[in-house]
Structure 1
C-alpha cells in the first residue's frame, strides 16, 4: 500500500520525516509549489530520505475549473520549483480536491504527468482528530490502496506512528506510488489503486 501526503512541505513535515525514517518507510509527497519555494530544505530532505516527490499544483488551485493556461502554469511552476530544490522532475501529479477533467488529462499527458488520486481518504483536513484519522486509515486500507493524508496537519502526523505499527502488524508493506505499480504510469491517465 502507498501512503501519500499532500499540501506540504510545512513545519510539521520535519516531524513526519523523522517518523518515516525511524520506521524505514517510504512515502509519496504531493507538493504545493509555493510551499516548495518557502521550504526547499524540507523537499531536499524528502528526496534524500528516498521518498517520491510529486506535483500538487503551485497554489492548490482547482484545476478542473481552471483555464488551460492556468492549469499549465500551476503545474509547470511546481515542476520548476521541485527541480530547482532537488534536481528531480516529477512524473506524478495529484489535482487538488481531486478536481480533474479532459482538459487536465490532455495537459498532464503533454507534460508527462500521471494523475494519482486515492482509495482511502480519512478527511484529516476536516476532523483534525488523530484517533479518527488512525481508525479510518487502518480500517479502510486494503492491498494495493493509495492513502491520502496531509502532512500540514500536526494531528495527522501524530496518527502516523500508530498507523504504521497497526498496518505493519497486518502484513502491509509501505511503498511509494511508483513502487506500488512497479512500472511507469501513463501520463494523463488517472490512477486510484493498484
Structure 2
C-alpha cells in the first residue's frame, strides 16, 4: 500500500540520517521497480540509471566492463551507470572503467553533483530520472547571458557542451567514489 511505501522510505531515511548525519535528498528504487504507489508516495526525486552493468547477475569483470565500454554502448555525458559494491568483480571492472572514461575526458561525479550541474538542483519529487543529458535542459538554461550579465554565470560554464562536467567545490574524484555509487558521467 502507499502508506507502507511511505513508512518504509521514512524509516530508511531516518536510519541513514542517524548513521551518516545527512538526510537523503534522492531515492533509488530497489531493482528500479516503479509502481504508481511509489510514484505517488515518495516525496523525493527518484533516480534510476541509463546504463545497467548487470554486475549483480554476471559477477564477471569483463562483462561489467563491456556493459559500459563495449562496441554497442555509447556512453554519453549525463549518463548514470548502475554498479554495486558487493562483488570483487565490480571493483576490478571499476578500475578499468574509471580509467578509460577519465582518459576519454569524462569526469565522474555523484548523482547529487550531476543534478546540481544539469538542473541547478531543480528536480521534482516523485518524478523518475535516469540521466541528465544536455538535450534534456530547457532552452533558457542553454542561452547566452543577457547583455550586462556576468560571463561567470553562463550556462556554458555551468552546463558545459563539450562533454566535461565542471569541477566540484566539494572533494570528489573518481578514486574517492565508492563502487556502489550510481556513477554519473
Shorter-chain TM-score bucket reads 0.5 to 0.7
Q: Which has the higher helix share?
A: 1
> Deviations for 1:157-183, whole angstroms, at most 9, x for unmatched residues?
121111110011111011111221222
Match of 2:24 among 82, 90, 96: 90
Match of 2:40 among 88, 102, 106: 106
Q: Which has the higher strand share?
A: 1
- Structure number with the bigger relative contact order (C-alpha 8 A, sep ≥ 6) is 1
Aligned residue for 2:8? 74
State TM-score, norm by structure 2. 0.64
Q: Distance in 2 between matches of 1:176 and 1:147?
A: 11
Pair 1:165 & 2:99 matched: yes
Deviation (angstroms), 1:190: 0.6
Deviation (angstroms), 1:81: 0.7
Deviation (angstroms), 1:120: 0.2
Q: Distance in 1 between matches of 2:59 and 2:8?
A: 27
How many residue pairs end up in the alignment?
Answer: 125
Match of 1:117 among 16, 31, 48: 48
Indicate the SS of the match to 2:5: helix
Aligned residue for 2:131? 193
Give the gaps of 5 or more residues in structure 1: 1-66
> Deviations for 1:73-97, whole angstroms, at most 9, x for unmatched residues?
2211110111001110001111111
Q: Distance in 2 between matches of 1:121 and 1:68?
A: 27
Q: Distance in 2 between matches of 1:123 and 1:152?
A: 12
Tell me which structure has the larger Cα radius of gyration: 2
> Pairwise CA RMSD of aligned residues?
1.2
Q: Distance in 2 between matches of 1:180 and 1:74?
A: 26
Q: Distance in 2 between matches of 1:70 and 1:105?
A: 13
Q: Distance in 2 between matches of 1:161 and 1:77?
A: 34
